[in-house]
Amino acid sequence: MSPTRRALRLQSTLALLFAAVCAIGAGTGAWGSEGGTTTSAAPRTGHVGDAVGGPVGGGTPGDRWTADYTPEQFAAYSQELDGHYIGVGLWLARSPQGSVSVTRTLAGSPAARAGLAAGDRLLAVDGTRVDGRPVTQVVALLRGGAGGRVGSAVTLLLQRGSRQWQVELRRAVLDEDDVHVDHPEAGVTRISLDAFTVGVSEQVQAAVRQAVLHPDRGGRGILLDLRGNSGGLVSEAVATASVFLDGGPVARYLPANGPEQTLTAAPHGDTVTPLVVLVDGGTMSAAELVTGALRDRGRAVVVGGPTFGKGAVQEPQALSDGVVQEHTVGHYLTPSGTSPDGQGIQPDIPVPASASAQTAENTALTVLDDLSGGDGQ
């Protein structure tokens, strides 16, 4: 084991003992993706308005998560639940100063083939300057609204360092897998989830099954990486939590009108394999639901930074003018009765926000060593 890992082991062991005894990322319109789902069908949790097409109206006063969509925008918005969408394959972020930059590109997408890369600044879309605009609006421009058909062109003005250039891309049907499985160290299976879209829970279950059957892949444990996970289908979140639980509560749902409901895990999940959940300020909504369930049920140790802090649940409603409005219909609590709204899920073992992603991962791996009784590397 390296000296760094030994130091992390001591720090995390003390934190674990303390936790046993004691037993924000992004603002609205500040970040988003042209691909990748952040919302879901009712009941749902998700950061509305940032992932697909921008809202066209103000929505319901007093509801920070409300958003209005044209029928075309909402059709594309719903399409992403199946992991498919029409676009160019860009993820974007807006700085506090209002500039919009590329955070990553989808492999094989029109943007990736054109050489766009993380760090590139997006200046304009089809001649419309984007500085100061919410990412929701920029994404709407990229997707083209009703005109965003497969093969339709979109012209981007970009800047990299002192160089500015213009590129024309043609929109395509893109398909992104929201589940990524790898093995950062011998005996560790890392399952990274970008969003809770249709079929995610089945892929997680398959990865866990392989980890259990092959000790060289999962003998030391499983690292469930929810960093940057923007939410998704509640049903997929509950089913994913069920992979690691044997029945019992996953969350408490408090509808705006009606009695409290309990979201319950399916029986016979894996309750033995050591499990660490890795989170950060971009872990939102349905991802927070899963994190809170596994933490409160004592199934996992949570490592990283405080999560985003969204416990609101939205569902869509068609208005008389054809606009589709998403509005909040309830809130959820973790099994212990804690609301993530505004404060997020606090990790058992915090990693400073200034630390690198690799430092967070190393901390999580060290915790897995502690849980499994292994020596690590």
* Cβ–Cβ under 8 Å, residues 372 and 220: yes
Please, what's the b/e burial string for 211-240 (b: 16 or more CB within 10 A of its CB; e: otherwise)? bbeeeebbbbbbbbbbbbbbbbbbbbbbbb
The verdict on 316 and 201 lying in the same domain is yes
Residues 231-270 have pLDDT tens digits of 888 899 999 999 999 999 999 999 988 899 999 999 999 9
∠ CA 136-141-144 to the nearest 5 degrees?
120
The verdict on 195 and 253 lying in the same domain is yes
Of residues 57 and 90, more confidence is placed in 90
Q: Is 162 exposed, middle or buried (0-12, 13-18, 19+ CB in 10 A)?
A: exposed
DSSP bridge pairs for 278? 225, 303
The verdict on 198 and 306 lying in the same domain is yes
The verdict on 348 and 263 lying in the same domain is yes
Which of these three, 114, 144, 175, is where a domain ends? 175
Structural domain includes residue 213: yes
> CA–CA separation, 93 vs 119, rounded Å?
10
Structural domain includes residue 196: yes
Structural domain includes residue 377: no
The verdict on 40 and 170 lying in the same domain is yes
User: How confident is the model at residue 208, as a pLDDT?
Assistant: 97
For residue 134, is the peptide bond before it cis, meaning its omega torsion is within 30 degrees of 0?
no
Q: Is the pLDDT of residue 58 over 50?
A: no
- For tokens 């009941």, what's the residue? 43
Structural domain includes residue 267: yes
The verdict on 201 and 325 lying in the same domain is yes
For 127, other C-beta atoms within 10 Å of its C-beta total: 8
Which of these three, 175, 210, 240, is where a domain ends? 175
* Cβ–Cβ under 8 Å, residues 290 and 237: yes
Give the model's confidence band at 44: pLDDT under 50 very low, under 70 low, under 90 confident, else very high.
Answer: very low
The verdict on 20 and 128 lying in the same domain is no
Structural domain includes residue 75: yes
For residue 324, what is the domain's CATH number? 3.90.226.10
Averaged pLDDT, 129-149: 77
Averaged pLDDT, 89-103: 81
> CA–CA separation, 336 vs 339, rounded Å?
9
The verdict on 265 and 320 lying in the same domain is yes
Of residues 165 and 309, more confidence is placed in 165
> CA–CA separation, 335 vs 262, rounded Å?
9
Q: Three-state SS for 151? A: coil
Residues 210-232 have pLDDT tens digits of 999 998 888 899 999 999 887 88
Which of these three, 141, 175, 209, is where a domain ends? 175
Give the model's confidence band at 376: pLDDT under 50 very low, under 70 low, under 90 confident, else very high.
Answer: low
Residue 120 has what DSSP assignment?
A: P
Structural domain includes residue 200: yes
> CA–CA separation, 92 vs 77, rounded Å?
17
Task: Name the strand (E) or helix (H) holding 207.
Answer: helix 200-213
CA nearest to 24, candidates 286, 332, 311, 344: 344
For 27, other C-beta atoms within 10 Å of its C-beta total: 13
The verdict on 353 and 228 lying in the same domain is yes
Averaged pLDDT, 20-46: 33
The verdict on 207 and 126 lying in the same domain is no
Structural domains of the chain, count: 2
The verdict on 73 and 120 lying in the same domain is yes
Domain of 157? 31-175
User: How confident is the model at residue 81, as a pLDDT?
Assistant: 53
Q: Is 197 exposed, middle or buried (0-12, 13-18, 19+ CB in 10 A)?
A: buried
Predicted model pTM = 0.70
> CA–CA separation, 55 vs 59, rounded Å?
9
Average pLDDT, the chain: 79
Averaged pLDDT, 268-289: 94
Q: What's the Rg (C-alpha) of the chain?
A: 21
The verdict on 99 and 207 lying in the same domain is no
Structural domain includes residue 238: yes
